[in-house]
């Protein structure tokens, strides 16, 4: 006997489908905005086969121990995005955060109470870049940095692993970052 949804089930499915389509529209809008107005310090895009999984590569922050490095990671957006925060991971060794572990930031799933639906992928990555060079003290026990690491050591973490992990997802990274930096200079 075929299952027929009751009148109580049908609206629930409809609401979930509507919520998912809102999420997809928002994600596609963010992807388009990042493509049309690239950031100078990062490149980010969703996977072709999963809009809820984004990969990004950050340029090491100038004037810090991370300068010169390139750091690849991913953002996992929940189906309820933008109403629930994402999980953020760095996939390359970086001297600051544990590789492959969720990063604890106010813009991440670690702090859903502080998440704002107006924030997006650009805001998330801007916050991550700003947080990258801060000291790993106190509650930041998940950080993998040692104080004795030098500028050269930290920036080297992100250099060698770029081609292995980032190339399939963000193949034009170098060119895109250079264009974004030029775009930022011209519009500054």
Answer whether 73's CB lies under 8 Å from 88's CB.
yes
**Known catalytic membership, residue 166:** no
Q: Which residues contact 43 (CB under 8 A, 6 or more apart)?
A: 56, 57, 170, 173, 176, 177, 180
CA angle 51, 174, 133 (to 5 degrees): 80
Q: Which residues contact 15 (CB under 8 A, 6 or more apart)?
A: none
Catalytic-labelled residue, pool 104, 127, 159, 184:
104
Active site residues: 104
């Amino acid at each position: 006997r075929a299952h027929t949804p009751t009148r109580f089930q049908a609206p629930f499915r409809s609401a979930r489908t509507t919520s998912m389509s809102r999420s997809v529209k928002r994600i596609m809008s963010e992807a388009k905005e990042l493509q049309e107005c690239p950031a100078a310090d990062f490149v980010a895009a969703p996977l072709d086969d999963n809009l809820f999984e984004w990969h990004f590569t950050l340029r090491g922050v100038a004037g810090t121990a991370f300068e010169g490095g390139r750091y690849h990671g991913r953002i996992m957006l929940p189906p309820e995005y933008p109403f629930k925060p994402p999980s953020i991971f760095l996939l390359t060794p970086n001297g600051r955060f544990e590789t492959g572990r969720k990063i604890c930031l106010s813009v991440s799933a670690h702090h859903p109470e502080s998440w704002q639906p107006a924030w997006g992928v650009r805001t998330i990555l801007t916050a991550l870049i700003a947080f990258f060079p801060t000291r790993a003290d106190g509650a930041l026990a998940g950080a993998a940095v040692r104080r004795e690491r030098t500028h050269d050591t930290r920036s080297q973490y992100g250099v060698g692993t770029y081609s292995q992990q980032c190339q399939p997802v963000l193949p034009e990274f170098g060119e895109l970052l250079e264009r974004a930096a030029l775009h930022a200079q011209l519009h500054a």
